[in-house]
């Protein structure tokens, strides 16, 4: 008897040893890392992110594009705290919204020592237009871009287009002397692919451990950054990243265009050293989009009735753990400087029921559900993203609210690509739940027009000629006072027509450890990794 | 039966046995490759979306020329048959294609992920094979004893628990409550040995526990079956020592069936590891495959699925050879198709 | 066959299964008053009003578990029914007819037994878009090979028996023999496989749901786990949202495994019948 147990335990030990030998191939654990800790003269900032870079080519990889814009490259223009586009590397003038003159306003060098010139600016615009599908849209009306001298570039558009400056804010200046000979930028693997003129020099990427490093550029035109080295740690789950924050492995977290899900806030508040920057979100966190070309969602009364059926406080309370507010009928969040106050959305179930009854949606057969005016069964479908739990849960709450006023509701789920195909191409949906981003809000004619206008992405599928004419005028108008008036007009249209119901206006929650870092500045586009952070940050 | 003793007969049996096996495995591999080519192309959704990014896709989709050129570049506009020929040719050259979502050659990604999956599955699987087999052998002999019954029941309970859930509970207890282990992630170069081991300890334990329970249950069943056979009764009466008896008369005869079952088990482990990888955010094959499904990354999905299936087929082939070497009775039975 | 008196395994299995059935019945009793009482804030810990606390929407977890039992159990049973049917028909035909049909079906069985099922299911479910019936279909279509192999072995045995040889001798129709004499005699094997497959189907469904490949509007236990994982329950320490569904899954699968294994012993199907692949 004893012998058997002995044999079993001996077996376990042998296999465990073999297992460790198999599992630790040479070089897998590198013991000489410990020596690096001793020379702790560098000011190192470690940031965690769930934006996982898959390959460190910034033309190809979406998140590499974001991080390169934060660290190694400089944008032509930037977005200020109230959402306006302001000069960074270049300033611009135009008299007719067709011919634009860009002037390089700083004198700086690439990381490899070459001087940054207007040639680089002209090259970047034309190169991205040709090579990068993302910029094919931003620069769709660009006919030519050429350097007039060392500092000036003239860009000619094929039509009047004021959103051209949005493209400038999206554009990171690229070195002509490196990329001009690259035909396929997305698969370029040359060692100079991450040479930029930004505040940091690229330090390398280890895909297996998800670690990227950046070293300060002492020659940056705004002076050397306050940190010597930034380490970006990529996590595949928010849970793991926030645990690392609690343990102090990282000083702050980062997620492009959003903070952390508010549902995590209570567990972070348990830690005294974790502080949060809380800011309004320029995107509308989630809206219920109607397909305004499909009956009965093309009826303004119907859409307005729905807007009175929803329990908005539930969305704030359960979906965003209280870190949100109930929107107004104008859809545009109140943090935008062109925001016009409108009445707050609120629930009035009996009023919603009255409107529905008045347009013929009644429960005639007494089964508890309203039917179409012609008596056939009515069923409203809500399209939601199957890969976003928050969106599914929100759809569930909306469904319960609609069912309370007698509308039979069905949630239809779709993964990201199917969702995009349905909402943007086939338009085979009744209503959909989705969020908008800051970028989306400023693209096209701005003020969310990208998401409404059926001539563009148009989730709401708005074909209203009044709406179209306002959008067209914004695109052509250079006069900012007039644009402001038109944005007010858009908000009137949003409120009157309820093409989409904003469900809640969320907040951006940016946690960091106050015992490790201070002086983080929040940038509208890039969050705490905006350029201003590097000149006020203090690493402790 | 007499044929077995005739050398010529045996040789011809052997040859036909191997040819048979070869044909079977070859068609198996080919079918996997074909399935794997055909299936992703039937999936809905537009992979081009992932070249554009969400916001621009809507505008870009209105630009048919751009769509055309990209489709051409990724071979999506060719007839299905041509696509298959291209696919086979590439596969033959070891070119697994280019991942849409990673923007990298797939061979590179796979080369990076396979070792991580092996690191997570192989050591606990080997351990569980040995310990599970020994435990099962022990439990299957005189199974009526109370402590053996208790252990067997415990094994059944372990086997019923989904391993990924075991993983989550382990994270809750050891990472969140006791703060002993990291919440997830794989060991990476540059980590100290202690950190590396701390990353491995939970996945290792979860997979080892689950597999050991499974292996032990199988082995116990085999032992029970063999213990009923007449030669065991004879052997018992011969009065061999306990250990010798177990090894010679219970373990050796059950080894061949055990191996072939163990090979199937490896398939389970690989599949199961997929979910455990997700629970531990361990960037192995399973995790990658899941990502590929979410992002509709055809080539990557194809490659991860083929690799997983081929590894399992390889394991099966090895187990087949091993059982063949161990137990000559298989040769006859195989040829006679039972 | 063996005596009618249920063994210890079978009794325990039946006990666990009846517990699940109680849940299903309770879900119809409390199911209509579901989500009440809802808690004021997300993730309230267990209390008097919510015995197992609430989830991120403030919904009562116990009610969700009861409701989930319906989905998990019905997918398990229907999925297993489909797979057992396919497996039985293929196995019986293969074992009885022999020859090239046996070769082809045997090859098909080998193919599906070797291809790792879960990854294939994930790919297929993603393709078919996850819904109740698609999950059932995927499990049914991919989980039959073991059953087919066992039934084939038993059918082959019967085929060689003098009784069936005699029937063939008097030129009875093959279909007739299969349905009249082979199938009734493999019922024991089929029953045991059916019960075991239920546990596998429940585990597979839970696995698919866990990674988000299920119908979110009709949440099973796996879906509850999925939502807990993706909505921050782990970091909140809200164990009441993900421990109970896991226990429910384990308990149910254990119940069916015990009953199935008990039946296997009753009908003398040892693990050895499984070997001898390709």
CA neighbor of A458 nearest in space, from A424, A410, A493, A507: A424
| Mean pLDDT for the stretch of residues A277-297 | 91
A20 pLDDT band, cuts 50/70/90, is: very low
Identify which has the larger pLDDT, A432 or A22. A432
| Res B282 pLDDT > 70 | yes
Inspect the interface and report whether the beta carbons of A187 and B122 lie closer than 8 Å. no
| Mean pLDDT for the stretch of residues A211-237 | 91
Residue of B nearest to C230 (CA): B279
Token representation of residue A289:
């989009």
Q: What share of chain C is helix, strand, coil (3-state, %, to 5)?
A: 75, 0, 25
Torsion of the alpha carbons at B247, B248, B251 and B255, rounded to the nearest 10:
130
CA distance C205 to C199: 10
| Res A381 pLDDT > 70 | yes
| Res B43 pLDDT > 90 | no
| Res A318 pLDDT > 70 | yes
| Res B50 pLDDT > 90 | no
Inspect the interface and report whether the beta carbons of B156 and C250 lie closer than 8 Å. no
Identify which has the larger pLDDT, C120 or B330. C120
Looking at residue B125, its pLDDT comes to: 85
Looking at residue B14, its pLDDT comes to: 67
Q: What is the ipTM of this complex?
A: 0.87
CA neighbor of A397 nearest in space, from A308, A476, A515, A310: A310
| Mean pLDDT for the stretch of residues B288-296 | 75
Looking at residue C4, its pLDDT comes to: 65
| Res B10 pLDDT > 60 | no
**At C274, is the secondary structure helix, strand, or coil?**
helix
CA distance B250 to B256: 11
Identify which has the larger pLDDT, B28 or C164. B28
CA neighbor of A111 nearest in space, from A165, A47, A168, A68: A68
Which residues, listed in sequence order, are joined to residue A78 by a DSSP beta bridge?
A86
**At C24, is the secondary structure helix, strand, or coil?**
helix
Centre a 10 Å sphere on the Cβ of residue A252 and count the other Cβ atoms it contains: 25
| Res A186 pLDDT > 60 | yes
Shortest distance, CA B224 to any CA of chain C (angstroms): 9
| Mean pLDDT for the stretch of residues A55-60 | 86
Token representation of residue C34:
């579901």
Token representation of residue A105:
């306003």
Q: Phi and psi for A147 in degrees, rounded to 5?
A: -80, 125
Residue of B nearest to C221 (CA): B165
Inspect the interface and report whether the beta carbons of B58 and A440 lie closer than 8 Å. no
| Mean pLDDT for the stretch of residues B251-263 | 71
Last residue of a domain, one of A162, A197, A232: A197
Q: Does B102 touch chain A (CB under 8 A)?
A: yes
A87 pLDDT band, cuts 50/70/90, is: very high
- Mean pLDDT over each residue of chain A, to the nearest integer: 86
From the list A27, A57, A239, the residue facing B189 with the nearest CB is A27
| Mean pLDDT for the stretch of residues B322-335 | 58
Mean pLDDT: which of A70-79, B150-159, C98-107 is highest? A70-79
Centre a 10 Å sphere on the Cβ of residue A395 and count the other Cβ atoms it contains: 26
CATH of the domain at A149: 3.90.76.10
Residues of chain B with Cβ-Cβ distance to C122 below 8 Å are 274, 289-290, 293
From the list B160, B172, B270, the residue facing C116 with the nearest CB is B270
Shortest distance, CA C36 to any CA of chain A (angstroms): 13
Inspect the interface and report whether the beta carbons of C56 and A393 lie closer than 8 Å. yes
From the list B98, B112, B196, the residue facing A208 with the nearest CB is B112
| Res A350 pLDDT > 50 | yes
Ranges of CATH 1.10.3720.10 domains, chain B: 114-327
Looking at residue B296, its pLDDT comes to: 65
Inspect the interface and report whether the beta carbons of A23 and B122 lie closer than 8 Å. yes
Residues of chain A with Cβ-Cβ distance to B124 below 8 Å are 19
Inspect the interface and report whether the beta carbons of C57 and A263 lie closer than 8 Å. no
Buried b / exposed e along C69-96 (16+ C-beta atoms within 10 A): bbbbbbbbbbbbbbbbebbbbbbbbbbb
| Res A4 pLDDT > 70 | no
Identify which has the larger pLDDT, C125 or A345. A345
Shortest distance, CA C49 to any CA of chain B (angstroms): 25
CA distances from C8 to B132, B140, B198, C12, C249 (A): 23, 17, 41, 6, 21
**Is A297 part of any domain?**
yes
| Mean pLDDT for the stretch of residues B321-334 | 61
Identify which has the larger pLDDT, B306 or A499. A499
Residues of chain C with Cβ-Cβ distance to A410 below 8 Å are 217
Shortest distance, CA A67 to any CA of chain C (angstroms): 25
| Res B146 pLDDT > 60 | yes
Looking at residue A471, its pLDDT comes to: 92
Q: Which chains touch A (3 or more CB pairs under 8 A)?
A: B, C
Looking at residue A1, its pLDDT comes to: 45
Looking at residue B338, its pLDDT comes to: 33
- Give pLDDT tens digits for B169-183: 998 898 888 888 887
Which residues, listed in sequence order, are joined to residue A101 by a DSSP beta bridge?
A93, A154
* Apex B103 CA angle, B100 and B108, nearest 5: 105
Reduced 3-state DSSP string for A33-68: HHHHHHCCCCCEEEEEECCCCCCCCCCCCHHHHHHH
Token representation of residue A140:
């769709």
User: What is the DSSP code string of C166-220?
Assistant: HHHHTT--HHHHIIIIIHHHHHHHHHHHHHHHHHHHHHHHHHHHHTT-S-TTS--
Residues of chain C with Cβ-Cβ distance to A264 below 8 Å are 232, 235-236
B100 pLDDT band, cuts 50/70/90, is: low
Looking at residue A21, its pLDDT comes to: 44
For residue A308, how far is the Cα from the chain centroid?
29
Strand order in the sheet with A142-147: A90-94, A99-104, A152-157, A142-147
Q: Does B306 touch chain C (CB under 8 A)?
A: no
| Mean pLDDT for the stretch of residues A273-285 | 89
Inspect the interface and report whether the beta carbons of C236 and A264 lie closer than 8 Å. yes
Looking at residue A105, its pLDDT comes to: 92
Q: Which of A374-388, B44-58, C39-53, C200-214 has the lowest mean pLDDT?
A: B44-58
pTM: 0.83
- Give pLDDT tens digits for C93-119: 888 777 788 888 888 887 887 787 888
Inspect the interface and report whether the beta carbons of B46 and A137 lie closer than 8 Å. no
A306 and A169 housed in the same domain = no
Reduced 3-state DSSP string for chain B: CHHHHCHHHHHHHHHHHHHHHHHHHHHHHHHHHHHHHHHHHHCCCCCCHHHHCHHHHHHHCCCHHHHHHHHHHCCCCCCHHHHHHHHHHHHHCCCCCECCCCCCEHHHHHHHHHHHHHHHHHHHHHHHHHHHHHHHHHHHCCCCCHHHHHHHHHHHHHHHCCHHHHHHHHHHHHHHHCCCCCCCCCCCCCCCHHHHHHHHHHHHHHHHHHHHHHHHHHHHHHHHHHHCCHHHHHHHHHCCCHHHHHHHHHHHHHHHHHHHHHHHHHHHHHHHHHHHHHHCCCCCHHHHHHHHHHHCCHHHHHHHHHHHHHHHHHHHHHHHHHHHHHCCHHHHHHHHCC
Residues of chain A with Cβ-Cβ distance to B103 below 8 Å are 54-55, 57, 60-61, 186-187
| Res B242 pLDDT > 70 | no
Query: What is the percentage of chain A residues whose pLDDT exceeds 70?
Result: 92
Q: B2 CB contacts (<8 Å, ≥6 apart)?
A: none
Shortest distance, CA A407 to any CA of chain B (angstroms): 30
For residue B207, how far is the Cα from the chain centroid?
12
Q: What residues of chain B, 175 to 204, have a C-beta less than 8 Å from chain A? A: 175-176, 179, 182-193, 196, 200, 204
Domains for chain C: give ranges and CATH numbers.
56-268 (1.10.3720.10)
A232 pLDDT band, cuts 50/70/90, is: very high
Looking at residue B298, its pLDDT comes to: 66
**At A419, is the secondary structure helix, strand, or coil?**
helix
User: Are B159 and B210 a contacting pair, CB within 8 Å?
Assistant: yes
Residues of chain C with Cβ-Cβ distance to A266 below 8 Å are 43, 236
- Give pLDDT tens digits for A464-485: 999 999 999 998 887 888 989 9
A187 and A332 housed in the same domain = no
Looking at residue B70, its pLDDT comes to: 61
CA neighbor of C71 nearest in space, from C224, C221, C256: C221
Looking at residue B334, its pLDDT comes to: 43
Residue of B nearest to C253 (CA): B160
Buried b / exposed e along B149-181 (16+ C-beta atoms within 10 A): eebbeebbebbbbbbbbbbbbbbbebbbeeeeb
B8 pLDDT band, cuts 50/70/90, is: low
A7 pLDDT band, cuts 50/70/90, is: low
Last residue of a domain, one of A149, A165, A197: A197
Size of interface A-C (CB pairs under 8 A): 64
Range of the domain at A182: 73-197
Query: What is the percentage of chain B residues whose pLDDT exceeds 90?
Result: 4
CA neighbor of A508 nearest in space, from A275, A280, A232: A280
Collect contacts of C18-25 with beta carbons under 8 A, ≥24 apart: C19/C251, C19/C255, C20/C69, C20/C73, C20/C248, C20/C251, C20/C252, C20/C255, C23/C65, C23/C66, C23/C69, C23/C248, C24/C66, C24/C69, C24/C70, C24/C73
CATH of the domain at A477: 3.10.105.10
| Mean pLDDT for the stretch of residues B54-60 | 51
Looking at residue A39, its pLDDT comes to: 44
Residue of A nearest to C230 (CA): A389
Q: Which chains touch C (3 or more CB pairs under 8 A)?
A: A, B
A188 pLDDT band, cuts 50/70/90, is: confident
Looking at residue B53, its pLDDT comes to: 46
CA distance A401 to A383: 16
Inspect the interface and report whether the beta carbons of B168 and C113 lie closer than 8 Å. no
Question: Taking every pair of C-alpha atoms in chain B, what is the biggest distance, in angstroms?
Answer: 85
A27 pLDDT band, cuts 50/70/90, is: very low
- Give pLDDT tens digits for A384-434: 988 888 899 999 999 999 999 999 999 998 877 778 888 888 889 999 999
Looking at residue B239, its pLDDT comes to: 58
Identify which has the larger pLDDT, B199 or B100. B199
Looking at residue A243, its pLDDT comes to: 85
A26 pLDDT band, cuts 50/70/90, is: very low
Q: What residues of chain C, 17 to 76, have a C-beta less than 8 Å from chain A? A: 35, 40-43, 56-58
Looking at residue B79, its pLDDT comes to: 74
CATH of span B114-327: 1.10.3720.10
Q: Does C118 touch chain A (CB under 8 A)?
A: no
B5 pLDDT band, cuts 50/70/90, is: low
Inspect the interface and report whether the beta carbons of C102 and B305 lie closer than 8 Å. no
| Res B74 pLDDT > 70 | no
CA distance A223 to B6: 90
Whether the upstream peptide bond of residue B84 has omega within 30° of 0, thus cis, is no
- Give pLDDT tens digits for A294-310: 989 999 999 999 999 99
**Is A273 part of any domain?**
no
Number of domains in chain A: 2
Q: How many residues does chain A have?
A: 540
Looking at residue A487, its pLDDT comes to: 93
- Give pLDDT tens digits for C203-257: 989 998 988 888 888 899 999 999 998 888 888 888 999 999 999 999 999 999 9
Looking at residue A71, its pLDDT comes to: 94
From the list B32, B162, B309, the residue facing C206 with the nearest CB is B162
Inspect the interface and report whether the beta carbons of C231 and A242 lie closer than 8 Å. no
> Scanning the structure block, which residue is given the tokens 């949060």?
A276
C278 pLDDT band, cuts 50/70/90, is: very low
* Apex B257 CA angle, B253 and B260, nearest 5: 145
User: Are A494 and A331 a contacting pair, CB within 8 Å?
Assistant: yes
Q: Does C232 touch chain A (CB under 8 A)?
A: yes
């Amino acid at each position: 008897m004893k012998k058997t147990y002995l044999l079993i335990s001996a077996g376990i030990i042998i296999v465990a040893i073999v297992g460790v030998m198999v599992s630790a191939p040479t070089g897998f654990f590198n013991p000489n890392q410990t020596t690096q800790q001793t020379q702790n003269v560098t000011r190192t900032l470690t940031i965690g992110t769930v934006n996982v870079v898959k390959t460190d080519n910034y033309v190809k990889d979406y998140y590499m594009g974001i991080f390169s814009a934060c660290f190694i490259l400089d944008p032509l223009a930037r977005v200020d705290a109230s959402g306006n586009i302001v000069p960074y590397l270049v300033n611009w003038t135009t008299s007719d919204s067709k011919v634009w003159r860009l002037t390089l306003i700083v004198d700086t060098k690439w990381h490899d020592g070459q001087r940054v010139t207007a040639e680089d600016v002209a090259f970047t615009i034309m190169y991205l237009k040709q090579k990068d599908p993302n910029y094919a849209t931003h620069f769709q009306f660009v006919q030519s871009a050429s350097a007039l001298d060392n500092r000036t570039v003239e860009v000619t558009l094929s039509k009047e287009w004021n959103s051209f400056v949005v493209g400038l804010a999206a554009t990171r200046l690229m070195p002509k002397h490196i990329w001009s000979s690259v035909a396929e930028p997305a698969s370029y693997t040359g060692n100079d692919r991450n040479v930029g003129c930004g505040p940091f020099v690229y330090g390398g990427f280890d895909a297996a451990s998800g670690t990227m490093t950046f070293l300060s550029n002492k020659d940056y035109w705004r002076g050397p950054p306050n940190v010597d080295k930034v380490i970006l740690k990529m996590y595949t789950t928010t849970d793991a990243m926030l645990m690392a924050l609690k343990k102090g492995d990282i000083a702050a977290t980062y997620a492009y265009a959003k903070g952390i899900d508010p549902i995590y806030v209570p567990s972070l508040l348990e830690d005294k050293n974790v502080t949060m920057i809380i800011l309004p979100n320029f995107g509308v966190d989630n809206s219920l989009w109607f397909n305004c070309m499909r009956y009965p969602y093309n009826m303004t009364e119907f859409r307005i009735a729905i807007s009175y059926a929803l329990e908005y406080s539930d969305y704030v309370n359960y979906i965003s753990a209280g870190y949100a507010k109930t929107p107004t009928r104008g859809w545009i969040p109140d943090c935008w400087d062109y925001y016009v106050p409108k009445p707050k959305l609120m629930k009035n179930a009996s009023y919603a029921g009255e409107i529905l009854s008045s347009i013929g949606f009644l429960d005639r057969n007494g089964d508890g559900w309203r039917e179409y005016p012609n008596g056939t069964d009515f069923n409203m479908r809500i399209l939601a993203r199957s890969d976003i739990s928050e969106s599914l849960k929100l759809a569930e709450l909306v469904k319960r609210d609609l069912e309370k006023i007698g509308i039979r509701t069905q949630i239809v789920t779709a993964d990201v690509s199917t969702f995009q195909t349905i909402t943007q191409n086939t338009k085979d949906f009744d209503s959909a739940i989705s969020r908008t981003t800051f970028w989306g809000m400023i693209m096209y004619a701005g003020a969310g027009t990208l998401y409404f206008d059926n001539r563009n992405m148009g989730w709401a599928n708005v074909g209203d000629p009044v709406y179209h004419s306002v959008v067209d005028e914004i695109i052509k108008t250079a006069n900012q006072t007039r644009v402001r008036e038109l944005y007010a007009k858009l908000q009137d249209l949003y409120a009157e027509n309820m093409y989409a119901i904003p469900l809640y206006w969320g907040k951006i929650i940016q946690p960091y450890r106050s015992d490790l870092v201070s002086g983080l500045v929040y940038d509208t586009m890039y969050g705490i990794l905006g350029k201003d952070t590097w000149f006020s940050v203090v690493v402790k | 039966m007499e044929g077995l003793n005739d050398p010529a007969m045996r040789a011809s049996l052997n040859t036909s046995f191997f040819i048979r096996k070869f044909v079977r495995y070859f068609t198996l591999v080919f079918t996997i490759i074909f399935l794997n080519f055909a299936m992703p192309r039937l999936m809905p959704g537009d992979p081009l979306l992932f070249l554009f990014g969400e916001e621009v896709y809507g505008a870009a989709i209105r630009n048919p020329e751009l769509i055309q050129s990209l489709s051409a570049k990724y071979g999506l506009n060719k007839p299905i048959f041509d696509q298959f020929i291209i696919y086979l040719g590439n596969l033959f050259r070891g070119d697994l294609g280019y991942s849409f979502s990673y923007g990298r050659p797939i061979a590179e990604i796979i080369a990076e992920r396979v070792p991580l999956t092996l690191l997570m599955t192989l050591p606990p699987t080997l351990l569980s094979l040995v310990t599970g087999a020994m435990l099962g052998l022990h439990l299957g002999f005189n199974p009526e004893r109370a402590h053996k019954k208790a252990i067997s029941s415990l094994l059944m309970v372990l086997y019923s628990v989904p391993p990924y859930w075991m993983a989550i509970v382990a994270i809750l207890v050891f990472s969140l409550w006791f703060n002993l282990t990291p919440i997830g992630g794989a060991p990476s170069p540059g980590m100290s040995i202690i950190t590396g081991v701390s990353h491995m300890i939970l996945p290792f334990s979860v997979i080892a526990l689950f597999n050991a329970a499974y292996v032990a249950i199988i082995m116990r069943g085999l032992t029970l079956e063999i213990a009923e056979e007449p030669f065991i009764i004879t052997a018992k009466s011969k009065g061999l020592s306990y250990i010798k008896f177990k090894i010679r008369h219970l373990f050796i005869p059950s080894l061949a069936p055990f191996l072939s079952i163990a090979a199937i088990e490896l398939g389970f482990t690989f599949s199961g590891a997929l979910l455990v990888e997700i629970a531990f955010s361990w960037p192995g094959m399973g995790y990658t495959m899941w990502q590929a499904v979410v992002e509709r990354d055809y080539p990557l999905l194809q490659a991860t699925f083929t690799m997983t299936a081929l590894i399992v087929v390889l394991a099966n082939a090895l187990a087949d050879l091993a059982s063949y070497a161990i137990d000559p009775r298989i040769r006859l039975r195989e040829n006679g198709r039972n | 066959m063996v005596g009618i008196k249920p063994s210890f395994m079978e009794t325990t299995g039946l006990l666990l299964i009846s517990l699940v059935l109680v849940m299903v019945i309770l879900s119809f009793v409390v199911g209509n008053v579901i989500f009440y009482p809802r808690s004021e804030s997300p993730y309230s810990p267990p209390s008097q009003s919510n015995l197992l606390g609430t989830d991120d929407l403030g919904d009562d977890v116990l009610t969700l578990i009861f409701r989930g039992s319906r989905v998990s159990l019905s997918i398990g049973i229907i999925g297993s029914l489909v797979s057992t049917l396919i497996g039985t028909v293929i196995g019986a035909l293969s074992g009885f007819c022999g020859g090239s049909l046996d070769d082809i079906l045997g090859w098909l069985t080998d193919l599906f037994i070797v291809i790792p099922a879960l990854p294939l299911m994930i790919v297929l479910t993603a393709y078919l878009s996850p819904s109740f019936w698609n999950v059932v279909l995927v499990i049914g279509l991919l989980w039959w090979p073991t059953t087919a192999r066992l039934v084939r072995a038993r059918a082959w045995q019967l085929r060689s028996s003098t009784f069936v040889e005699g029937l063939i001798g008097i030129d009875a129709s093959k279909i007739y023999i299969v349905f009249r004499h082979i199938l009734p005699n493999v019922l024991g094997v089929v029953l045991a496989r059916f019960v075991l497959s239920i546990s596998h189907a429940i585990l597979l469904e839970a696995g698919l749901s866990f990674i988000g490949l299920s119908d979110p509007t009709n949440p099973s236990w796996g879906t509850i786990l999925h939502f807990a994982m993706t909505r921050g329950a782990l970091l909140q320490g809200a164990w009441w949202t993900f421990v109970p569904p896991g226990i429910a899954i384990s308990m149910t699968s254990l119940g069916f495994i015990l009953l199935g294994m008990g039946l296997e012993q009753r009908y003398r199907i040892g693990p050895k019948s499984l070997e001898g692949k390709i």
